[in-house]
Amino acid sequence: MHSFLDIQKRLLPDLLAVMQERYSLLKTINFLQPVGRRSLATNLGYSERVLRAEVDFLKQQNLVVSNAGGMSLSDEGKNLLEDLESLMRELKGIDVMEMELKHRLGIRNVIIVPGDSDLSPLAKKEMGRATVKGMRQLLAGKNIIAVTGGSTMAAVAEEMKPGIYNDELMFVPARGGIGEDVQNQANTICAIMAANTKSRHRVFYVPDQVSIEIYESFIKEPLVHEVLALIKSAGMVLHGIGDAITMAERRKAVPEDMRKIVEHDAVAEAFGYYFNEQGEIIHKVLTIGLQLDDLKEIPNVLAVAGGSSKAKAIRSYLKQAPPQTILITDEGAAKLLLKSG
């Protein structure tokens, strides 16, 4: 028997399109509130005239309120937005996509958020929120959480709040990160996560890439040895998946390594490993911290990456990822992963 939603799709497709647009409008206000009309129009790609009509309608329905600071959702608006979440997921087929991708990729779970983070920063923010929600469901007892660097992990840190978890948490950098932009270093991100959740963190001031001589020297240092022990005893890892060329350039790879990465068609990077489209490791940077094999012993591995431009990198890396991996991604990447599967 056809569901009511299926019947609506056939008989009233325009109604569903309008509902999706207003859902998107409510969601954007919720993310940016308090927000001015001009800023909201820019974020949504609406003309101010079209936006004014839509906002006036939402105000008449007591879903949006405005003051000198800008527009915000009313309590009714927040409740309606929450009620619409599951309906929108069904409408977009996100639940079905999650199940299919989980099966195809052979991992523990897949969580997909609406949108494409290549096109909208709100989608990356959504991935951050979904990651925090997933963490809350998985944590038990005292926990050490190892975290890599990168802009996606920074977005996850921004979404963390006090009370994410009642027991003790400690955030530790999964690897050295000196050499990257400060705001995207694992040390900085761990500090923000700890501050936002009122928990603890440790710093790991070692270079991102080292020679064998420096590596052997560093791991003998008592403080480095202590942090490495914490990292390897983590109950959870949060990490991103990078585009190979972008990451090699960001980390200032030497010409010889860059040539190898390009000539062997690397598409993905994670934990200092570079992978081709078949998921084969074609280059590894010597790093101090978590190694790919260490992930096998960690109960909860959350890989967070989205945007249609990241689809190849995600697929490549997940061919090497441990089966307990949970992928948090967006529609942009998910659709391409399914299409190319």
Average pLDDT over residues 110-115: 94
| Tens-digit pLDDT profile for residues 278-321 | 999 999 988 788 999 999 999 999 999 999 999 999 999 999 99
Q: Which two tokens mark 213? A: 């001589």
Look at the domain 4-90 and name its fold.
Arc Repressor Mutant, subunit A (1.10.10)
| Res 215: pLDDT | 66
How far, in Å, CA of 314 to CA of 305, rounded? 7
∠ CA 184-29-194, nearest 5°, is 30
| Res 1: pLDDT | 41
Mark 264-302 as b/e (b = at least 16 C-beta within 10 Å): eebbbbbbbbbbbeeeeebbebebbbbbbebbeebebbb
Residue with the bigger pLDDT between 169 and 20: it is 169
- At 162, is the secondary structure helix, strand, or coil? coil
| Tens-digit pLDDT profile for residues 126-170 | 999 999 999 999 988 789 999 999 999 999 999 998 877 667 899
| Res 241: pLDDT | 97
The CA dihedral of 27, 31, 35, 41, to the nearest 10 degrees, is -50
Average pLDDT over residues 253-270: 93
The phi, psi pair for 242, rounded to 5°, reads -105, 155
The CA dihedral of 305, 141, 187, 147, to the nearest 10 degrees, is -20
How far, in Å, CA of 209 to CA of 252, rounded? 10
Given a cut of 80, is residue 177 above it in pLDDT? no
Q: Which two tokens mark 138? A: 């998985």
Q: What ranges do the domains of the chain cover? A: 4-90, 93-340
What's the predicted TM-score (pTM) here? 0.87
| Tens-digit pLDDT profile for residues 53-108 | 999 999 999 999 988 889 999 999 999 998 888 888 887 889 999 999 999 999 99
| Tens-digit pLDDT profile for residues 204-254 | 877 666 666 766 677 777 787 788 889 999 999 999 999 999 999 888 888
Look at the domain 93-340 and name its fold.
Rossmann fold (3.40.50)
How far, in Å, CA of 307 to CA of 120, rounded? 9
CB within 8 A of 95, min separation 6: which ones? Answer: 89
